[in-house]
Structure 1
Amino acid sequence: MIKRLLPAKAQRRVGPFIFVDHMGPATFVAGSTEGDVRQHPHIGLATVTYLFSGAMQHSDTLGTRQRIEPGAINLMRAGRGIAHSERIPVDIRQEQVQVEGMQIWLMLPEEQAESEPSFQHYPAALFPVMQVPGCEIKVLLGEYFSQTSVVSFPSRCCYAELKLDPCSNLTLPKSEQQLAIYLAKGSLKQPQLNAGQMLVMTDDLTVLAGDDGAHFMLLGGDAVADPVLLNWNFVARTPERLAQAKADWNSGNFPRLTDDPEWIPAP
């Protein structure tokens, strides 16, 4: 199951965040390929994968083979073109471990949209938990609550995980950036928000957790000027670039994983 928050009719993007998915929680049949995402291409964006539970196996056309587990960050910059697959590890299937997490796409700055692709893995130990009364905060990208992430990104953005104790409150710092909160679990009494909903912040915000606490993600950054075009797995500034990427992928004139014959055609 996927909860897709961005893009939406009411809100196309928040800062450079152009695509936000909440994956799972889900378990997968042992010996099957349920949950596997066959290799597919990207241009013009960066993918960020962050897990709450379980594990996934990332493979890409740079030769990367990287398992990601809860608390770590996988950052893949597509630039001018990269393909990758994401599969559920055998042990996770066999042990029926729930897989749950967030996958987001960030727009690359226009001057880096056609840059060389790259991949970085950041272990969970690199993201310390900040304790404030009634709340745990972990800054994953950018800067927030006077914490700066070790993850380097070429435009100003913010991505943080916050966990509030039941009925505790927290005033979110002011920011010039466009920000939103996504409630992954629990509830908020103020503002009233249920799990699976996103709120784009338009003013200062004090959040009050419900009786079951609140686990939410804060995300955003500097607003990105139009034109911004999103089609399938591609982000570009012109329709011609999107069409070229699709044609290149379907014709085989695009990097592909040589040890994986399965690929998803562009629609």
Structure 2
Amino acid sequence: MAEPIELLIQGRAHELTPGFAVRRLLPNMKRRTVGPFIFLDHFGPLDVPPGGDGMEVRPHPHIGLATVTYLFQGGIFHRDSLGHAQAIRPGDVNWMTAGSGIVHSERTEPEMRQHGFRLHGIQTWVALPKAHEETAPRFEHVPAARLPAWHEDKTGLRLIVGTYAGRTAPTTHFSPIFYIAAELPAAGRVGVTAEHAERGVYVSAGTATIGNRPLGVGDLAVLAAKAPIDVVAGSEGARLMLLGGAPLDGPRHIWWNFVSSSKERIERAKADWKEGRFAKVPGDPEFIPLPEGRRPSGNVL
């Protein structure tokens, strides 16, 4: 029988802001993308005491991608250069299409910081197809109640973005994609269909097994193509993110928060941010300076 896992990626620690560490799964030297997903960060669980900082990500720019934030615990307050100011809570989705350019910040609300809380979630970036890289920026907040949710036996699933098993999420998407949050009880099982060309399974809590391969928190299993795969939870259950879709329509360059099929476009974005030509975020006057010391924009995905 063919091996169901093509590649196993284990997250590496990365400090997003001082004192706020994340596990970064994508991009990885062995595998840059899974479908259109080019970036996957798992943050927390982080216990923030009363008066603690939580998440304080100052305004910063993006082009050529969409960001997807999904929380298991806690909350984040989003502001962007289009004027949106939106809290996100567990089970909701913040989908931000950067396209030709957007600036946003992600911060902990004062009320949460005052009382203390636990923060736990996933942030991913989705590369836009070449035809949509310069689309007008937009922001969508989709409450959990509007997302397709169902059970397979005792496993609960919620479709965050895209299409899967005859269901479609209301979240905007630009190419074939699926992104699912799955909650498995002890020894629970979920099948991953073969309808999408590229698929991955990420363990955010608990343990699981695919075939004979045990998986723990921080493991991203890139699945072999063209065959349905079963995932079985361990004795304490598991929380999984199922993700993937069609491969990208060509290579991408990535530099800092910029993604594009054109190196020249990234250089223009760098200059625009440095010279202050991006739009400002109403209500949040701070910003993250261009990281001058980073390597040139020749990193191709």
For the aligned pair, the TM-score class normalised by the smaller chain equals: over 0.9
Aligned partner of 1:111: which letter? A
Matches within 5 A, 1:50-129: 50-129=70-149
Percent pairwise identity:
40
Q: 1: distance between equivalents of 2:285 and 2:52? A: 17
**216, 231, 240: which is aligned to 1:194?**
216
Q: 1: distance between equivalents of 2:196 and 2:96? A: 26
Q: 1: distance between equivalents of 2:75 and 2:163? A: 26
CA offset digits 1:105-129 (Å, max 9, x no partner): 1111111111111011111111243
Aligned partner of 2:40: which letter? V
CA offset digits 1:74-132 (Å, max 9, x no partner): 11101111000000011211221101111111111111111111011111111243112
* Secondary structure, aligned partner of 1:227: coil
Q: 1:165 to 1:33 in 2, by over 3 A?
A: closer
Partner of 1:248: 272
Judge conservation of contact 2:80–2:282 (CA < 8 Å) in 1: no
C-alpha deviation, 1:168, in angstroms:
2.1
Partner of 2:247: 223
Matches within 5 A, 1:90-169: 90-169=110-189
Partner of 2:25: 5
With normalisation by structure 1, the TM-score equals: 0.95
Q: 1:29 to 1:246 in 2, by over 3 A?
A: farther
State yes or no: 1:238 paired with 2:262.
yes
State yes or no: 1:210 paired with 2:230.
no
C-alpha deviation, 1:261, in angstroms:
2.4
**152, 172, 179: which is aligned to 2:199?**
179
Partner of 2:14: none
Aligned partner of 1:83: which letter? V
Q: 2: distance between equivalents of 1:171 and 1:48? A: 24
Judge conservation of contact 1:28–1:35 (CA < 8 Å) in 2: no
State the number of aligned residues: 267
Give structure 2 stretches of 5+ with no counterpart.
Answer: 1-20, 292-301
C-alpha deviation, 1:259, in angstroms:
3.2
C-alpha deviation, 1:150, in angstroms:
1.5
C-alpha deviation, 1:170, in angstroms:
2.6
Q: 2: distance between equivalents of 1:28 and 1:189? A: 32
Q: 1:214 to 1:258 in 2, by over 3 A?
A: closer
**63, 66, 70: which is aligned to 1:43?**
63
Give structure 1 stretches of 5+ with no counterpart.
Answer: none
* Secondary structure, aligned partner of 1:192: strand
